[in-house]
Amino acid sequence: MKVAVFGGTGFVGSYIVRELVRKGFIPKILVRSGSLSKIISPCEVVRGDIQDKNAIIETIQGTEVVIYTIGIIREFPKKGVTFKELQLNGLKRCIESARKIDVKRFILMSANGVRSDGTAYQTTKWQADEALTESGLNWTIFRPSLIFGDPCGEGRPEFCTQIRDDMLSMPFPAPLFYNGLLPFNSGLFSMSPIHVKNVAEFFVKSINLKICEKNIFDLGGPEVLTWKEIIHKIALASGKRTWKIPAPVVVIKIAASILDRFKWFPVTRDQLTMLMESNTVSANYFDDFSINPKNFNLENLEYLK
């Protein structure tokens, strides 16, 4: 069976492509010319971008399933890199093409915590979910919490490596963010980190699982960890210092309001807002999918060394 993958050279997408190959599927991916070097698994390649309707149709033609994982963590509007264009409009073009070609199975990578009145990232992800659920296709939506794992090369943003490089390699303590004036709750907001290999397994297994049809799954790992615990484990795994200091998030947001339009500034206001909301899940689907969870531990963080 052939599977069309949009975002197949990205962090999560590359693992999904690898898992598809491992399970005997034939991935067919849309790849921009500048990203050809990121292909790490055998697959069929269509050259083009997500604005090119003809390239989208060519990618979906002859497949039985569409997987859409295209997403960004920050915008650069002057370069045409926006949440709306890549996370919503691109998806709509793929839905339109799938309907035209009569490919009914469609699996989407969303995000935990999406909502209609959130940040631009959350809102466009929520709108994409709505577009798919109203499409008439046989859809599945996965909403992962924090995803971690070896990015397998440059150009694939990954949470833990960014924390290592942007916060733990600086000559000052790692920030334990907190809301308000007093630091009593500094670094205590929580997440449910899930390994990228597990995410890929969920996607590929969902192709033929009846329980996945027209269903939304919030994905998280087996542990709920605080920001303080996550920072500590990343520091230990990467051999960095582990000293930390409470940091009022309002001060960082003020700095971000001035500097987050520059690529070198490590965090945006919206990223800080979403970080402080916590990112946990209430259900665990590993048993339903017969998947062995990979914990957020030093063994699975070895790539940070």
Rounded CA separation 16/19 (Å): 5
Report the pLDDT value the prediction gives residue 253, as an integer from 0 to 100: 84
- pLDDT value, residue 173: 85
Judge whether 47 and 35 are in contact, CB under 8 Å.
no
From residue 296, how far is each of 13, 29, 153, 289, 291 by CA, in Å?
20, 30, 20, 20, 16
Which residues does the chain have with pLDDT short of 70? none
List, for residues 2-22, the tens digit of each pLDDT value: 999 999 999 999 999 999 999
Rounded to whole angstroms, the Cα distance separating 292 from 287 reads 8
At 118, give phi and psi (nearest 5°): -95, -155
Helix (H) or strand (E) holding 67: strand 65-68
Tell me the pTM.
0.93
CA distance 193 to 107: 21
Q: What is the DSSP string of 128-190?
A: HHHHHHTSSSEEEEEEESSEES---STT---HHHHHHHHTSSSSSPEEEEESSSSGGGTT--E
Tens digits of residue pLDDT in 225-268: 999 999 999 999 999 877 889 989 888 888 877 777 777 777 78
Q: For residue 84, give the DSSP letter.
A: I
Which pLDDT does position 262 carry in this prediction? Answer: 75
